[in-house]
Structure 1
Amino acid sequence: MLPRVNQMLFFEIASSDEAEAAVEYKARIADELEDGLLIETPLNESTGRMKRLYLGDELSVHFVTEDGIKNYFDSHVIGFREDTIKLIKIRKPDPDRITKVQRRHFLRVPAELEISVTAVGQIRFVTHTDDVGGGGISFLCDGKWAITREMVLDCWLLVPYKNGSLEHASFKAEVVRVVEHTSGRKQVMIKFVSISDSERQKIIRYCFERQLDFRNR
């Protein structure tokens, strides 16, 4: 069963920040298209504040049927449409992929990958990630770099695969959290705000390979 127009969707947004990834939002379906659903601007369930979504944001969604059953599916933002109000277009779920089993966590794996980071104010450095995922990553850097929440970074990630090949994934990301450690280093958690599907797939492929490695140990 697919969700219908005027039905409320509830969802979490993929983030490398676990606290942010656990926040639940809700949005009404305003219209149904052949290739997607148009939803209104989502609201934070706890605060009532509106949440801005970006192209490519990954969503873990559920809706409730009339008999009270929760149905879950994964989706992502594929566009926007200006109407009387701004609507957000998300990918319509494949009916075969809708499940009654909840999936709250996006695939994210620990990984030390080389990443180049550039930001305003002549900030430019190369460091290593702490973990990576399809919705964002976190990395460690020297405490001298003035990285702050909501800053947008241009990043270039070196992605190695099991067959020995290397890929480069480039993207823009927003800083969602900065943690300063007693060592003087910072842990920076970022979410993708501008990344092509092909670049995202490079990262997701790496995550699946790493996940299989962990399972086979």
Structure 2
Amino acid sequence: MLEIGMKIQLEMKNSDNSKTDIYLCTIIDETEDNYIINYPVHKETLKTTFFNIGTYFSAVYVGEDDAIYRFPTKITSRKKAKIPSLYITKPEVEQWKRIQRREYVRVDASIDVAVHSVLHQFDPFTTTTLDISGGGVAIITPKEVELVLHTLVDIWLPLEIKYQNKIHHAYAQAEIVTIRELNIRKNVVSLQFHSITQKDRQEIIRYCFDKEREKRLKERN
């Protein structure tokens, strides 16, 4: 289920179970019994972290079906090379846990978005999102921009990838599915992704997952 090049999160409760630390890494190789990962980076501090052999984690990743998968794992060994790496155990079949269809996880988010008409029905414009999910996005539009239901638009979304300290520019072709009034000057337009690459969808889903996690952590604190 996991392939070389896929990104995973390693989660570990701190000593008093009051907080879950999240570490980010990539599968760089595998053996019969282990996945080989690069050294994990703490999601908040962006610092590489040293772990003892035998350290247990809960591993989380996004599958090709856009669902979240979780499994228990532990560090079995480390390798010092040009790219230092760790060996973590592969789970037994019964240890895989499918959490949910991530594309239906919608989060509030204000992201800059560029919008172009596929049929050149209006001039390109930029605005912000109201919310986003792996299946679509809601954007705020000025009323003077005349949009037509069920037509297609091209959109570009710059997503902040915190653990890599970079911006991922996701592109999608989307269908206008609803238009409703927000106030006297603006509308809220819901867009459903019509055509999007697997990589861009996964980055959007990962962004939503991170936002939802941040929200839950704030509520707990």
Q: In structure 1, how many angstroms separate the alpha carbons of the residues matched to 2:179 and 2:137?
A: 12
Who is 1:110 aligned against?
Answer: 108
Q: Please tell me whether Structure 1 or Structure 2 has the larger radius of gyration of its CA atoms.
A: 2
Q: CA RMSD in A?
A: 2.7
Sequence identity, in percent? 30
Who is 2:140 aligned against?
Answer: 140
Q: Tell me, which stretches of 5 or more residues in structure 1 are unaligned?
A: 1-73, 77-93
Q: In structure 2, how many angstroms separate the alpha carbons of the residues matched to 1:108 and 1:97?
A: 21
Q: In structure 1, how many angstroms separate the alpha carbons of the residues matched to 2:131 and 2:98?
A: 28
Identify if the C-alpha distance between structure 1 residues 148 and 214 changes in structure 2 by more than 3 Å, giving closer, same or farther.
same
- Structural mapping, 1:188-207, within 5 Å: 188-207=189-208
Identify if the C-alpha distance between structure 1 residues 122 and 159 changes in structure 2 by more than 3 Å, giving closer, same or farther.
same
Offset from partner CA, 1:73-113 (integer Å, 9 cap, x none): x968xxxxxxxxxxxxxxxxx996679xx979811100000
- Higher normalized contact order (CA 8 Å, seq sep 6+, divided by chain length): 1
Who is 2:157 aligned against?
Answer: 157
Amino acid at match of 1:169: A
The count of aligned residue pairs is: 125
Q: Tell me, which stretches of 5 or more residues in structure 2 are unaligned?
A: 1-63, 67-92
Identify if the C-alpha distance between structure 1 residues 142 and 135 changes in structure 2 by more than 3 Å, giving closer, same or farther.
same
Q: Is the 8 A contact 2:102 2:205 kept in 1?
A: no
Identify if the C-alpha distance between structure 1 residues 103 and 152 changes in structure 2 by more than 3 Å, giving closer, same or farther.
closer
Offset from partner CA, 1:144-198 (integer Å, 9 cap, x none): 0011210100011110122332110001000110002333201000100100101
Identify if the C-alpha distance between structure 1 residues 192 and 144 changes in structure 2 by more than 3 Å, giving closer, same or farther.
same
Q: In structure 2, how many angstroms separate the alpha carbons of the residues matched to 1:215 and 1:98?
A: 20
Q: In structure 2, how many angstroms separate the alpha carbons of the residues matched to 1:216 and 1:104?
A: 19
Q: In structure 2, how many angstroms separate the alpha carbons of the residues matched to 1:207 and 1:147?
A: 26
Who is 2:214 aligned against?
Answer: 213
TM-score, normalized by length of structure 2? 0.51
